[in-house]
Amino acid sequence: MIGELNARPDVHGILVQLPLPPQISSERILTAIAPEKDVDGLHPINVGYLAAGKAGLVPCTPLGCVIFGKNGSREPARIGCSGRRSIRSGRTPCRPTLLGENCTVTIAHSQTRDLPSTCRRADLLVVAVGRPQMVRGAWIKPGATVIDVGINRVPKDGGGTRLVGDVAFDEAVEVAGAITPFPAVSAR
């Protein structure tokens, strides 16, 4: 199917919803997508261009993080990325786009020693750890911009599941200067 979509001139972009079932190789599927149609920017060629700071397709999530980082703060002195200390908590490719905006970028992850202290140093905290509500309000520097790109399904009272982010939103909103809502303001 990927080969067919690559060959069709009326198909301009391909996005594969991850994770895939275990019997399907994500690597094989992602590398099969034509780099020029790789909307998520996960093909090795696109990842390489992004890491090298070369022109190419910028994935929507990192680009959205940069846009929010530039415009999302309530404090006029904090608007913009240039010179801000950015902590990227998680292993997905947001670092190159933030570096391109002259942020001072630190990469952290769930195994980083004293992750709360590392997060508290961030002016711009981008979280994609893959753990429900892992980042607590006390981990956030007062006035920081917080971008939660995590999506987790957790049990809901009375059965079923609900979606939550990687940031404990109700705690974080009390500390952050700006924060992305999760799942959405209208759903609260």
Give, as one character, the DSSP assignment of residue 14.
B
Above 70 in pLDDT, residue 99?
no
What residue type is 6 in one-letter code? N
Residue 96: the pLDDT is 57
Q: What is the mean pLDDT of the chain?
A: 80
Q: Give the predicted TM-score (pTM) of the model.
A: 0.72
CB atoms within 10 A of CB 180: 22
Above 90 in pLDDT, residue 116?
yes
Q: Domain spans of the chain?
A: 2-52, 60-187
Residue 178: the pLDDT is 86
Residue 141: the pLDDT is 94
Task: Identify the H or E element spanning 6.
Answer: helix 2-7
Roughly how many angstroms between the first and final C-alpha of the chain, as a whole number? 39
The predicted model gives 137-159 an average pLDDT of: 90
- Contact between 144 and 165 under an 8 Å Cβ cutoff? The reply is no
The CATH class that applies to domain 60-187 reads alpha beta
- Contact between 91 and 130 under an 8 Å Cβ cutoff? The reply is no
22-75 pLDDT, tens digit per residue, is 899 999 999 999 999 998 888 888 888 877 777 667 777 777 777 776 665 554
